[in-house]
Amino acid sequence: MRIRARAPQFIRVLSSTGGARAMADTDRRKRLLSSYQRRALREYERILEATALNPERVLDFAEDDPVAVTPILRSMTDQVVRSEVIFEYTMIDMELDSLLFRRFFGAGKRLSTARSSRRYRTLRQMLQNLYPMQKLTIVRTFKTVPRPIVSKIAAVNELRNGLAHTFFLGDLPAAKRSYKGVSIFKKKGLEAFRKEAWEVRCFFTPWLKKWLPEGSNDVA
């Protein structure tokens, strides 16, 4: 596959008046950042480039190899969606861990003090060898978890397992790569997934609702 050197995107954007205004606005907002924040932003941009997940990457192929554009976009979408699913799965797993640690050691200063104990390390090792659904079973012995929340955790768990252990999506039944009947690789399906994962996290950590509005794109 031959790739011809092209002018950076920001130069091509400047060829239009609207593009120039957009770049000026971007520069203005970047100046509002601290030096550390600017470095962090640049590092993030470099990571996108290193992982080939920058959307502008497809423009490099638009002229020389247009046939490659569609599979490249599909691959990029695949990586982003899998990353989101695994991230939310990991967050829910962490919420369950936190509940169990608090159950055995208490909260606040008591929990902080316990972190250096052998009992804490033993429990952590045990939890590392349990799956989220197994942890949920233990949590339900001392905390009432509504059936809708249990169902959502199970749905997230099933989706994650399929995507994390199968490279070729075609090998997965459609139901295993969908959420609530919609492909997880479509905006509607991903939004449904994120909404329910958010509801699970808010159930276990209610204060999240105070700091982050429901459905916020700022959800970590």
pLDDT of residue 59: 82
Which residue has tokens 């939890």?
127
Cα–Cα dist 70/76, whole Å? 10
**Cα–Cα separations (whole angstroms), residue 134 to 150, 191, 202:** 12, 27, 20
Calculate Rg over the CA atoms of the chain.
Answer: 22
User: What pLDDT shows up at residue 30?
Assistant: 86
**Res 17: pLDDT:** 59
- Write the CB contacts of 40 (distance below 8 Å, at least 6 apart in sequence): none
The per-residue pLDDT for 203 is 96
Measured CA to CA, the distance from residue 142 to residue 32 in angstroms comes to 48
**What is the pLDDT at residue 18?**
62
Length of the chain: 220
List CB contacts of 204: < 8 A, sequence separation 6 or more: 92, 95, 96, 98, 99
- Position 7 scores a pLDDT of 44
Q: Provide the pLDDT for residue 213.
A: 63
From first to last of its 220 residues, the chain has per-residue pLDDT tens of: 434 444 445 444 445 556 677 778 888 888 899 999 999 999 998 998 888 888 888 888 887 888 988 998 999 999 999 999 999 999 999 999 999 999 999 999 999 999 999 999 999 999 999 999 999 999 999 999 999 999 999 999 999 999 999 999 889 999 999 998 999 999 999 999 999 999 999 999 998 887 776 555 544 4
Alpha-carbon span 54 to 58, nearest angstrom: 8
- Contact call for residues 22 and 13 (beta carbons, < 8 A): yes
- pLDDT value of position 65: 87
